[in-house]
């Protein structure tokens, strides 16, 4: 019994570990579902076992700490996560879906093994697909989701606060391809948010999510770029923040992987840093070393 109690104490930090922010974007594609998940931990974590009821492939990670993840009945990780540090998981899964006539329904299960303070889940429909039911909220479950668009895709999203470990995060959306001759952009006038405001809000939401998971020195660089119309020379960043060249290079490498900056060579070994809020950059790791 004493040994059992000791074992429980050893497991307790992992069992009660909390995720401060869980953000997931699920893009419905022809070959499956493409997931972009950001996890920010509120306390140290050494182990993650995230069971997913789907086939998983093409797992890629971008952590702020030493981590090794692999596919085994979902996603498993050994890590040295510290409080307020984050990991980004990009992966594909098969679809849990069924078709009724012209309507297709996709079900998504993000149930997570840790407590979560804040969760934001986005499901992005295929390009020009439309919600299958009228009113729109009859097309998805739970019914408290909200609808927006980025100009090409309809996006349904949900926000959740203070979830318990293992508490269900199951969502579904029914959609169909537009009728022949249907102009997708007329649909923008039927959505609860006008098109331009929706696109602006989506970019603002992505910016908020990304900046929430930044380290203090990364936030300092982003804020400095914002104060200078989104662009500065790399040496100007080092000078104004009183950072070494090596430190600035390391910070920019991390920000580039998170899709927050783009690096442009100017001349010789000098680079210009441009602020952006898009998907993760695909620049070579050799960029930004100046």
Please write the tens of the pLDDT for every residue from 106-125.
999 999 999 999 999 999 99
Closest CA to 57 of 79, 33, 77: 33
* pLDDT of 14: 42
Q: Is the pLDDT of residue 15 over 80?
A: no
Give 8's pLDDT tier (boundaries 50, 70, 90): very low
Tally of CB atoms within 10 A around 286:
8
Give 22's pLDDT tier (boundaries 50, 70, 90): very high
* pLDDT of 181: 47
- β-strands 18-29, 115-124 pairing: parallel
In tens, the pLDDT along 250-290 reads 889 888 877 788 889 887 778 999 987 544 434 333 344 44
Backbone φ and ψ of 74, nearest 5°: 125, -135
Bridge partners of residue 3, in order along the sequence: none
75 near 69, Cβ under 8 Å? yes
Q: Which domains does the chain have, with CATH numbers?
A: 14-194 (2.60.40), 214-275 (1.10.10.10)
Contacts of 79 (CB under 8 A, 6+ apart): 45, 46, 47, 48, 63, 65, 66, 67, 68, 69, 87
Picking from 63-67, 128-132, 151-155, which range would have the lowest pLDDT averaged per residue? 151-155
In tens, the pLDDT along 38-90 reads 999 989 999 999 999 999 999 999 898 999 999 999 999 999 998 888 999 99
E-strand ranges in 30-102 read 32-41, 45-51, 56-63, 67-71, 74-81, 86-93, 96-100
Which string of DSSP letters, residue by residue, matches 204-240?
HHHHHHHHHT--HHHHHHHHHHHHTTTEEEHHHHHHH
**Measured between alpha carbons, how far is 171 from 96 in angstroms, rounded to an integer?**
11
Whether residue 211 is preceded by a cis peptide bond, meaning omega within 30 degrees of 0, is no
* pLDDT of 174: 95
Work out whether the CA dihedral 28, 275, 40, 59 comes out positive or negative. positive
219 near 275, Cβ under 8 Å? no
Report the mean per-residue pLDDT for the chain: 80
């Amino acid at each position: 019994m004493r040994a059992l109690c000791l074992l429980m104490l050893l497991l307790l930090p992992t069992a009660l570990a909390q995720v401060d922010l869980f953000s997931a974007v699920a893009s419905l594609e022809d070959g499956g579902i493409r997931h972009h998940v950001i996890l920010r931990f509120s306390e140290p974590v050494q182990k993650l076992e995230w069971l997913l009821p789907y086939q998983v492939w093409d797992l890629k990670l971008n952590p702020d700490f030493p981590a090794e993840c692999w596919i085994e009945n979902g996603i498993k990780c050994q890590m040295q996560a510290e409080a307020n540090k984050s990991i980004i998981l990009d992966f594909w899964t098969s679809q849990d879906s069924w078709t009724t006539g012209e309507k297709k329904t996709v079900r998504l299960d993000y149930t997570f093994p840790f407590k979560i303070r804040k969760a934001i889940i986005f499901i992005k429909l295929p390009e020009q697909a439309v919600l299958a039911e009228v009113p729109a909220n009859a097309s998805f479950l739970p019914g408290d989701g909200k609808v927006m668009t980025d100009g090409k895709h309809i996006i349904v999203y949900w926000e959740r606060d203070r979830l318990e470990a293992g508490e269900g995060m199951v969502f579904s959306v029914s959609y169909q391809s537009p009728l022949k001759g249907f102009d997708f952009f007329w649909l923008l006038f039927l959505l609860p948010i006008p098109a331009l405001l929706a696109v602006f809000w989506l970019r603002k939401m992505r910016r908020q999510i990304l900046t929430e998971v930044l380290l203090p020195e990364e936030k300092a660089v982003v804020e400095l770029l914002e104060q200078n119309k989104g662009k500065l020379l790399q040496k100007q960043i080092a000078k104004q923040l009183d950072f070494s060249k090596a430190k600035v290079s390391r910070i920019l490498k991390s920000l580039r992987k998170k899709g927050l900056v783009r690096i442009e060579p100017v001349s010789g070994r000098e680079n210009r840093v441009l602020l952006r809020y898009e998907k993760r950059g695909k620049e070579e790791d050799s960029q930004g070393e100046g």
